[in-house]
């Protein structure tokens, strides 16, 4: 038998001005199951809460309804008081008679009647409340960071410095990502490597960070606090004792395009991507090496036609028999920092990218400007090594172009194009720089000033309009474009053309599916809420950092990486992670296993298990909710035809009780009012 | 019973009837929006009571039905604007489900002024207060919800629905049937002999002439019992569920194959335990009438078919339909006639239909897609559908059945055929399917991998939400 306590708050005059609290209390006394009713001017105050706590003990209450302000205001307060009074906090319901009653109605009779009915509704609900315990999820106190660019480096360092272990996985032989390729960074013109490499070194030396380069994440299973990760460590054929002396590379007879330099230079089959690479361990590129790997009945073996690198290696760390390894790690959180790549500009054939060697994309131009690049910082064009005397920069190649490329703005191109033009003018002071743009988006600290400086001081000619086509004539190119400000078509002779191509996600779509992070239509990872939860994915414990979530410049990337680290620490900082118990539960004896719930669950929180409920043979497959992942939205319940699945705290019986109460109330107040002579 | 509140109820001016409206809101946007109206001290009529849920995606349309059944005069559902859902997609699922529910309510003659859907964000206190004003006026205009869900008060006039015209084709000849039967027997014998299946479910002669009954054939010799003709109504998919001990070969018309696809999709059958034997069917006949579902049947023999059997022989895989037909479905003419009636006459029509329901649940038993162990009708904590065979319970049952099959019904029409009271369940199913097709472009698919209309959404789905 329910013994419910009803506590009506006056909220000073806020409720009592329009609602006759005495009548509401009187009506509540007559409700079935109500054992105690009291009122107080400020129920949320310390004496008010004490009233609730005492009444729970004195009257041996089994449920509490507090008629006061919105549950969004004080539900937590009163649940706390109820818990201190010795009842389960989920046996407390709030009747919202302020925001949704006394504040929106002026007629006292109407407001009083409505308040009484709201109390009746919540009394009806609380009778079906059950004791709920917070869900406790044990946490493995280690993080996985996927991607060793600036985003992954920053996240890993933040987590490691807070005292937790981190496994950082990078698929390339070195940390650094795209940022390592950049020459200088806007708007301060810091040398990119100068600010990045100290962080790379810090990662490699940090005792809490396990650095796995040339490795890829192959599989993730589990859930928040308890992920199992399979990592494939590719064979680099060079042991970790490598001293980085470069003797092997000098001995190697094979040259192959250097992908770190975007193919603009050559490297050997045994190589280090760039001099400051971390770790400074060489890698043997089996795709380029003359020693073919073959397969036979006895397994894979290598035909050694050339051993020059091994012979040249004084420490003897070249190991042709190295095999890829599979490592398994248990982690509590995962940070995805898989970064971006550039859209393939050859999909816009009018610009000639891929056909004309002197039409390059932004990252290629970065390498040409970089002191560590193929031209050692002297700007020379790829085709003939000539210093270009005129360069046309074209913005929005692929970006903001839903017809041919992507609809979004890549956010960084306006700024890096301005930087490119500036660096070009500094290197070739008598050269001419033209920029075609749609409009300039320079929203960032010091960005607008930077653009103005480039336009004014460095005399870069900005032309507002699009380029129709680029045509080669002899050893130069003619750029046909429109200048929409003067309304004229323009032709510019260019010795080089630089395309500011769109940023697209670097991670494969299948990777997103594997880590259960949903992606948007372009393949960027989808955050759970664009404003309020920008670094969390739909899968609890999987976090986002950097351009994997959307195009970003370095400051934004670093800020988001630190945000992801702080969200990671929120989980890692506690041995047991507590979650609200208002989650879905399956009645396995009723569940028939159609799995429509699984189809609609936004969180992937529903698994399939075989059970032998009530001795059914063979075992039947049923849905099971992973309470660590469920957010309690209840979409699953509304598709469940047999109602095998329900939401604790908002279950069908509680909803039904409320519907019955509000659609067909007992209306005791009516009688009370009638006895006093109708509406007052 | 009309809801006329006694004088001084406080709802409106004393002595007047005042509407009762149940609002279902999500916790994050709309409930906060209602709070916001209070914080801004906006005023609105006091007729709405809010039932708070975490997400509008939790909103089962049957909650609205329950509210009407309990005497509410109006229902409002409000959630976050598309794109703002706290749970990302909940409101988008809700939009589809409630849209189809509203279509059904409209078909059944519920005054559309009683049912409202809205998006209200946490900052839209003004919108909330205006919305409540608008909804209250609308329900006030509709008047007391006296007749809805109660037994018919007056002799309902059977609205004369148009009779189907002459069938667009003739019944298959005896020779064609005999040839198909013979090929079918051969195939069944071979499948059983080679041990590929341990039973064949097909049709055999029943006790009455012209009545074909389901036959379970388990030995090669027994295959001689199998027959095929235009009287093979039954959807045999129903019999394949939960069979153990070897694979089942199932003889399936195109419409039946969609049920098989549905059962595969919903994990009630495994692909490796069923061999689909498609028959190239040229229509099912009831007496001298072609079944309504066959008029517009223009689909290939199911792509699911492992074998296809026809008068010309047996082929591996599926084959294109022999004679495609796009003659208008006579049910569409009936639905059009119904929809041209004013709501109260539609209501009277359906009340007359549901009044005949004896709650035998033959419709449930014959439906391959009604496979739950525990039906919602049998639940009593809470009780979704009241037990007595009258009024509200009858309507609720038929609404629940229709909603549970919306987007899943394969249009085999078996429910309407077996109904001993002749309730026009076929019209309800057809109407929902047509609405889903019109709005979302999807039909029940013969491909088990395709999600049903109500377990998916598009961000730009149309709907009644304002």
Give the end of a domain, one of B286, B316, B346.
B316
Q: Domain boundary at B257, B283, B316, which?
A: B316
3-state SS assignment for residue A204: helix
Count of structural domains, chain B? 3
Q: Is residue B161 part of a domain?
A: no
Q: Which of B49, B94, B266 sits opposite A117 (nearest CB)?
A: B49
Stretch among A245-249, A466-470, B51-55, B142-146 having the lowest mean pLDDT: B142-146
Q: Are residues B202 and B272 in the same domain?
A: yes
Cβ contacts of A71 on chain B, cutoff 8 Å? 52
Q: Could you tell me the maximum CA-CA distance found in chain B, to the nearest angstrom?
A: 83
Q: Kindly tell me if the per-residue pLDDT of A411 is higher than 90.
A: yes
| pLDDT(A11) > 90 | yes
Mean pLDDT, 10 residues at a time, chain B of 466 residues: 35 63 95 94 95 96 92 94 87 96 93 94 93 95 74 56 79 88 96 95 89 94 94 92 86 89 92 91 85 76 84 82 69 91 87 91 95 90 86 90 94 93 94 94 83 91 90
Q: How far is CA B359 from CA A590, B54, B393, in A?
A: 22, 34, 9
Tokens of A413: 């191109």
Query: Which residues of chain A neighbour B52 with C-beta distances below 8 Å?
Result: 71
> Do the Cβ atoms of A663 and B70 come within 8 Å?
yes
Of A24-28, A579-583, A619-623, B260-264, minimum mean pLDDT range: A619-623
Q: Does B32 touch chain A (CB under 8 A)?
A: yes
Are the Cβ atoms of B51 and A655 closer than 8 angstroms? yes
Q: What is the mean pLDDT of residues A307-329?
A: 93
Provide mean pLDDT across the span A438-463.
94
Q: How many CB atoms lie within 10 A of CB A490?
A: 15
Q: Using omega within 30 degrees of 0 as the cis cutoff, is the peptide bond preceding A618 cis?
A: yes
Among B residues 145-204, those touching chain A with beta carbons less than 8 Å apart:
none
Check residue A675 and give its pLDDT.
45
B325 with B295: CB under 8 angstroms?
yes
Cβ-nearest to B404 among A99, A600, A641: A641
Residue A100 and residue B33 in contact, taking contact as beta carbons nearer than 8 Å: no
The domain of B193 spans 174-316
Residues of A in contact with B371 (CB under 8 A): 592
Q: Is residue B72 part of a domain?
A: yes
Reported in sequence order, the residue ranges of A114-161 that DSSP labels E, i.e. its strands, are 135-138, 142-146
Q: Which of B86, B93, B266 sits opposite A594 (nearest CB)?
A: B266
pTM attached to this predicted model: 0.77
- Give chain A positions within 8 Å (CB) of B58: 633-635, 637-638, 647, 650
- DSSP for A543-592 reads EE-GGGSS---HHHHHHHHHHHHHHHHHHHTSSEEEE-S--EEE-TTT--
Q: A638 and B57: CB-CB below 8 Å?
A: yes
For the stretch A322-362, pLDDT in tens is 889 999 999 999 999 999 999 999 999 999 999 999 999 99
Residue A518 has pLDDT above 90, yes or no: no
Nearest Cβ partner of B8 from A644, A656, A673? Answer: A673
Residue B465 lies in a domain: no
A657/B39 CB distance under 8 A: no
Closest CA to A89 of A51, A118, A56, A45: A56
Judge whether B16 lies within some domain.
Answer: no
Are B236 and B126 in a shared domain? no
Nearest to A638 among B58, B372, B384 (CB): B58
**Of the candidates B63, B104, B77, B68, which has an alpha carbon nearest to the alpha carbon of residue B407?**
B104
Q: Residue B253 in contact with residue B240, Cβ under 8 Å?
A: no
For A183-220, the pLDDT digits (tens) are 999 999 999 999 999 999 999 999 999 999 999 999 99
Q: Are A283 and A248 in contact (CB under 8 A)?
A: no
The confidence score (pLDDT) of residue B224 equals 95
Q: How far apart are CA B330 and CA A437, in angstroms?
A: 61
Q: Which helix (H) or strand (E) holds A55?
A: helix A46-58
- CATH number of the domain that residue B58 is part of: 3.40.50
Which helix (H) or strand (E) is A519 found in, with range?
Answer: none
Looking at the fold, whether B295 and B363 belong to one and the same domain comes out as no
Q: Determine, yes or no, domain membership for B461.
A: no
Residues A353, A361: contact at Cβ < 8 Å?
A: yes
**Cβ atoms within 10 Å, residue B160:** 7
Provide the H-helix boundaries in B203-342: 254-265, 292-295, 330-339
> Which secondary-structure segment (H or E) carries A254?
none
- Asked if residue B291 lies in contact with residue B430, where contact means CB atoms within 8 angstroms, the answer is no
What's residue A652's pLDDT? 95
Q: Which residues of A touch B67 (CB under 8 A)?
A: 659, 663
- Tell me, what's the pLDDT at B434? 93
Shortest Cα distance, chain A CAs vs residue B140, angstroms: 15
Question: Which B positions 231-250 lie with beta carbon below 8 A of chain A?
Answer: 244
Q: Which residue has the tokens 């129709």?
A: A468
Are B372 and A641 an interchain contact pair (Cβ–Cβ within 8 Å)?
yes
Report the alpha-carbon distance of residue B442 to residue B437 in Å, rounded.
5
A98 DSSP assignment: I
Give the model's pLDDT for residue B5. Answer: 38
Which residues, listed in sequence order, are joined to residue A543 by a DSSP beta bridge?
A335, A536
Residue whose C-alpha is closest to residue A67's, from A102, A105, A33, A35: A102
Strands A467-473 and A476-483: antiparallel
Q: Residue A289: is its pLDDT beyond 50?
A: yes
Report the C-alpha gap between B344 and B332 in whole angstroms: 20
Best A533, A618, A659 member to test B by mutation, with max B CBs in 10 Å, is: A659
Cβ contacts of B300 within 8 Å, gap of 6 or more:
B254, B318, B319, B320, B321
In B80-176, where do the E strands start and end? Answer: 115-119
What is the C-alpha separation between A223 and A491, in angstroms, rounded?
A: 58
Q: Please check whether residues B290 and B347 belong to one and the same domain.
A: no
Q: Which phi and psi (to 5°) does residue A78 adopt?
A: -75, -30
Where is B313: in which H helix or E strand?
Answer: strand B313-316
- Domain co-membership, B287 together with B342: no
Q: Which of B123, B142, B161 is the last residue of a domain?
A: B142
Which residues on neighbouring strands pair with residue B24, listed in sequence order? B51, B77
Residue A494 pLDDT > 50, yes or no?
yes
> What pLDDT score was predicted for residue B136?
95
At B64 the pLDDT is 95
Residues B306 and B383 in one domain: no
Give the distance, in angstroms, between the CA of residue B74 and the centroid of all CA atoms in the same chain. Answer: 23
Closest partner CB to A650 (pick from B53, B88, B244): B53
CB-nearest to B67 from A641, A657, A659 is: A659
Could you tell me the sign of the dihedral formed by the alpha carbons of A39, A45, A47, A51, in that order? positive
B270/B341 same-domain check: no
Please indicate, yes or no, if residue B83 is contained in any of the structural domains.
Answer: yes
User: Which residues have C-beta within 8 Å of that of residue A584, sequence separation ≥ 6?
Assistant: A597, A605, A606, A625, A630, A632, A634, A636, A637, A645, A646, A647, A648
% of chain B beyond a pLDDT of 70: 91
d(CA A10, CA A40): 6
The Cα–Cα gap between A651 and B382 comes to 10
Same domain, yes or no: B336 and B301: no
- With CA atoms as reference, report the closest residue to A376 among A385, A248, A384: A385
Q: Does B462 reside within a domain?
A: no
A18 neighbourhood in chain B, CB within 8 Å: none
Are A118 and B59 in contact (CB < 8 Å)? no
A530 vs B462, more confident: B462
Separation in Å, CA of A659 to nearest CA in chain B? 6
Chain A closest CA to B307's CA: distance in Å? 27
DSSP A619: P
B10 → closest Cβ in A104, A109, A639:
A109
Q: Residue A507: pLDDT above 80?
A: yes
Chain segment A256-267, per-residue pLDDT in tens: 999 999 999 999
Say if the Cβ atoms of B66 and A639 lie within 8 Å.
Answer: no
Contact B38 A637 (CB under 8 A): no
Q: Is residue B215 domain-shared with residue B276, that is, in the same domain?
A: yes
Tell me how far CA of residue A62 lies from CA of A123, A167, A239, A581, in angstroms: 11, 49, 68, 19
3 state SS of B103: helix
| Count, residues in chain A | 680
Q: What is the pLDDT of residue B289?
A: 85
Do you know the residue count of chain B?
466
Look at residue B9 and tell me if it is in a domain: no
B115 & B178 share domain: no
Domains of chain A with CATH codes: 4-132 (3.40.50), 134-234+325-339+519-578 (3.50.50.60), 238-323 (no CATH), 341-504 (3.50.50.60), 580-648 (3.30.70.20)
Identify the CA nearest to B169 among candidates B270, B53, B73, B288: B288
Residues 6+ apart with CB under 8 A from B347: B108, B109, B110, B147, B148
- Statement to judge: residues B412 and B365 lie in one domain: yes
**Chain-chain contact of A659 with B22 (C-beta, under 8 angstroms):** yes
CB A623 within 8 A of CB A586: yes
Q: What percent of chain A has pLDDT over 70?
A: 97
- B238, B212 contact by CB (below 8 A): no
Select from A22, A36, A9, A112 the least CA-distant residue to A670: A112
What's chain A's average pLDDT? 92
User: Which backbone phi and psi does A300 adopt, to 5 degrees?
Assistant: -85, 145
As for the ipTM of the complex, it is 0.91
Pairing state of beta strands B313-316 and B307-310?
antiparallel
Edge-to-edge order in the sheet of strand B307-310: B212-217, B199-205, B248-252, B274-279, B307-310, B313-316
User: Are B182 and B100 found together in one domain?
Assistant: no
Residues facing A542 on adjacent strands:
A334
CB A635 to CB B71 under 8 A?
no
């Amino acid at each position: 038998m329910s013994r419910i306590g009803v506590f009506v708050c006056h909220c000073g005059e806020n409720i009592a001005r329009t609602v006759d609290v005495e009548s509401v209390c009187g009506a509540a006394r007559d409700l079935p199951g109500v054992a105690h009713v009291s009122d107080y001017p400020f129920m949320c105050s310390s004496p008010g809460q004490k009233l609730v706590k005492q009444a729970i003990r004195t009257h041996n209450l089994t449920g509490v309804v507090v008629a006061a302000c919105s549950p969004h205001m004080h539900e937590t307060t009163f649940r706390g008081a109820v818990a201190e009074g010795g009842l389960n906090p989920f046996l407390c319901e709030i009747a919202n008679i302020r925001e949704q009653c006394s504040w929106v109605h002026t007629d006292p009779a109407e407001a009083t009647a409505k308040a009484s009915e709201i109390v009746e509704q919540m009394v009806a609900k609380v009778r079906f409340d059950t004791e709920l315990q917070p869900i406790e999820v044990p946490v493995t106190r280690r993080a996985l960071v996927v991607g060793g660019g600036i985003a992954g480096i920053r996240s890993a360092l933040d987590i490691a410095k807070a005292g937790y272990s981190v496994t950082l996985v990078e698929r390339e032989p070195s940390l650094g990502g795209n940022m390592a390729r950049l020459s200088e960074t806007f708007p301060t013109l810091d040398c990119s490597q100068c600010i990045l490499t100290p962080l790379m070194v810090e990662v490699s030396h940090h005792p809490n960070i396990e650095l796995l380069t040339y490795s890829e994440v192959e599989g993730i299973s589990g859930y928040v606090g308890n992920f199992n990760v399979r990592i494939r460590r590719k064979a680099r054929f060079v042991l970790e004792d490598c001293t980085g002396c470069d003797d092997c590379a000098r001995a190697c007879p094979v040259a192959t395009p250097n992908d770190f330099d975007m193919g603009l230079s050559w490297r050997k089959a045994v190589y280090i991507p760039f001099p400051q690479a971390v770790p400074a361990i060489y890698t043997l590129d089996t795709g380029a090496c003359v020693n073919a790997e073959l397969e036979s009945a006895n397994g894979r073996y290598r035909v050694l036609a050339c051993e020059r690198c091994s012979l040249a290696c004084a420490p003897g760390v070249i190991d042709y028999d190295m095999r890829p390894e599979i490592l398994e790690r248990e982690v509590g959180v995962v940070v995805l920092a898989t970064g971006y790549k550039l859209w393939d500009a050859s999909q816009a054939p009018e610009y000639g990218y891929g056909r004309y060697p002197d039409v390059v994309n932004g990252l290629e131009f970065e390498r040409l400007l970089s002191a560590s690049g193929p031209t050692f910082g002297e700007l020379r064009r790829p085709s003939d090594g000539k210093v270009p005397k005129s360069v046309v920069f074209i913005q929005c190649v692929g970006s903001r172009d839903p017809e041919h490329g992507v609809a979004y703005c890549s956010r960084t191109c306006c700024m890096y194009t301005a930087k490119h033009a500036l660096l070009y003018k500094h290197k070739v002071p008598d050269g001419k720089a033209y920029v075609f743009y749609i409009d300039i988006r320079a929203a960032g600290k010091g960005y607008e000033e930077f653009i103005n400086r480039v336009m004014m001081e460095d005399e870069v000619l900005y032309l507002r309009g699009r380029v129709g086509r680029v045509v080669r004539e002899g050893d130069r190119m003619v750029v046909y474009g429109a200048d929409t400000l003067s309304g004229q078509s323009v032709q510019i002779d260019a010795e080089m053309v630089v395309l500011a191509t769109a940023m697209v996600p670097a991670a494969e779509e299948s990777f997103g599916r594997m880590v259960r992070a949903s992606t948007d239509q372009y393949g960027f990872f989808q955050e759970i809420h664009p404003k309020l939860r920008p670094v969390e994915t739909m899968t609890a414990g999987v976090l986002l950092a950097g351009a994997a979530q959307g195009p970003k410049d370095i400051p934004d990337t670093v800020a988001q990486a630190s945000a992801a680290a702080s969200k990671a620490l929120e989980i890692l900082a506690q041995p047991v992670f507590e979650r609200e118990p208002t989650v879905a539960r399956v009645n396995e004896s009723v569940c028939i296993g159609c799995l429509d719930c699984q189809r609609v669950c936004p969180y992937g929180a529903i698994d399939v298990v075989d059970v032998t409920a009530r001795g059914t043979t063979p075992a039947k497959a049923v849905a099971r909710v992973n309470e660590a992942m469920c957010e309690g939205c209840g979409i699953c319940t509304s598709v469940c035809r047999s109602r095998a699945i329900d939401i604790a705290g908002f279950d069908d019986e509680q909803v039904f009780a409320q519907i019955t109460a509000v659609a067909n109330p007992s209306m005791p107040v009516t009688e009370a009012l009638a006895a006093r002579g109708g509406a007052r | 019973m009309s809801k006329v509140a006694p004088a001084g109820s406080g709802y409106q001016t004393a002595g007047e009837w005042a509407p009762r409206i149940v609002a279902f809101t999500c916790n994050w946007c709309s409930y906060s929006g209602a709070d916001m109206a209070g914080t801004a001290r906006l005023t609105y009529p006091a007729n709405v009571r809010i039932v708070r849920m975490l997400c509008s995606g939790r909103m089962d349309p049957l909650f609205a039905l329950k509210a009407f059944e309990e005497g509410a005069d109006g229902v409002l559902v409000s959630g976050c604007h598309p794109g703002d859902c706290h749970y990302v997609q909940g409101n988008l699922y809700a939009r589809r489900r409630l849209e189809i529910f509203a279509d059904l309510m409209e078909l059944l003659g519920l005054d559309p002024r009683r049912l409202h859907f809205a998006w209200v964000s946490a900052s839209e206190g003004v919108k909330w207060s205006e919305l409540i004003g608008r909804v209250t006026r609308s329900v006030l205009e509709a008047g007391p919800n006296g007749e809805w869900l109660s037994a018919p008060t007056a002799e309902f006039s059977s609205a004369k629905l148009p009779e189907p015209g002459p069938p667009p084709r003739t019944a298959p000849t005896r020779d064609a049937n005999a040839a198909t039967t013979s090929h079918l027997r051969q195939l069944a014998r071979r499948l059983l002999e080679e041990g590929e299946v341990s039973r064949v479910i097909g049709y055999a002669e029943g006790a009455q002439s012209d009545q074909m009954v389901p036959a379970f054939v388990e030995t090669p010799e027994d295959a001689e019992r199998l027959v095929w003709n235009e009287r093979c109504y039954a959807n045999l998919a129903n019999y394949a569920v939960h069979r153990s001990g070897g694979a089942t070969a199932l003889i399936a018309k195109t419409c039946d194959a969609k049920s098989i696809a549905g059962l595969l999709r919903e994990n009630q059958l495994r692909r490796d335990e069923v061999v689909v034997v498609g028959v190239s069917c040229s229509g099912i006949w009831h007496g001298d009438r072609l079944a309504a579902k066959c008029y517009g049947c223009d689909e290939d023999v199911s792509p699911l078919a492992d074998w296809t059997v026809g008068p010309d022989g047996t082929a591996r895989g599926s084959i294109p339909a022999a004679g495609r037909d796009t003659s208008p479905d006579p049910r569409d003419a009936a639905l059009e006639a119904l929809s041209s009636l004013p709501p109260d006459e539609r209501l009277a029509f359906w009340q007359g239909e549901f009044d005949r329901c004896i709650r035998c649940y033959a419709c449930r038993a014959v439906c391959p897609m009604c496979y739950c162990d525990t039906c919602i009708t049998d639940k009593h904590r809470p009780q979704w559908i009241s037990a007595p065979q009258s009024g509200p319970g009858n309507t609720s049952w038929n609404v629940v059945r229709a909603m549970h099959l919306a987007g899943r019904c394969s249009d085999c029409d078996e429910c309407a055929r077996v109904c001993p009271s002749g309730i026009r369940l076929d019209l309800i199913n057809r109407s929902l399917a047509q609405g889903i097709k019109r709005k979302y472009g999807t039909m029940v698919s013969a491909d088990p991998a395709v999600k049903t209309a109500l377990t998916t959404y598009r961000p730009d789905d149309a709907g009644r939400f304002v």
